[in-house]
Amino acid sequence: ENKKQKNNIKLYVRRVFIMDNCEELIPEYLNFVKGVVDSEDLPLNISRETLQQNKILKVIRKNLVKKCMELMDELAEDKDNWKKFYEQFGKNLKLGIHEDSTNRKKLSGMLRYYTSASGDETCALGDYVSRMKENQKDIYFITGESNDVVSQSAFVERLKKRGLEVIYMTEPIDEYVVQQLKEFDGKNLV
């Protein structure tokens, strides 16, 4: 898992193959996306060095990321399909929160977590916020090894007694997510 997985985007210029695994085309956290980019606007004799400074490539990258966001938004509307997708690529989305500051807000809406009130179902941060008490100003979360471990903690017990819901963050990458995502929907994560 630590070794960088190469991406699956192939670059063509006017139907002539230029390269695969073009890192400038898509951010690392979207490395599960497969596809072909065929550009009329790039020169045929382009080198790797020129690719890195190329403005057209930056525009292509921006549009690819935008399209991925749109497709994931659509997928998130169907709960069952999103659950399957999220089981496979949830870590990628969390990595995106860490890497991609421009899309952080969109990505944060796509995250799913177990909470002290959600039982066996995961819920979005938006669902958590909609269930918050009127006087509750913060989103409460706890990080740990597993749902069983964190649900037994004294911190969770105290909050549950006060009728507050706690988000369980049980993957190592969640600690980085919280560092980047200090708030959601105007509520601080504490």
pLDDT digits (tens, 9 = 90+) for 90-140: 999 999 988 888 998 899 889 999 988 887 888 888 898 888 888 888 888
Look-up: residue for tokens 């909609």?
A: 130
Looking at every residue in the chain, the average pLDDT score rounds to 86
132-146 pLDDT, tens digit each: 888 888 888 988 888
Q: How far is CA 39 from the centre of its chain?
A: 27
Cα–Cα distances in Å, from 44 out to 10, 12, 19, 178?
Answer: 14, 9, 11, 44
Secondary structure of residue 115 in the 3-state scheme = strand
Q: Looking at per-residue confidence, does 98 or 2 come out higher?
A: 98
Specify the amino acid at residue 59. Answer: V
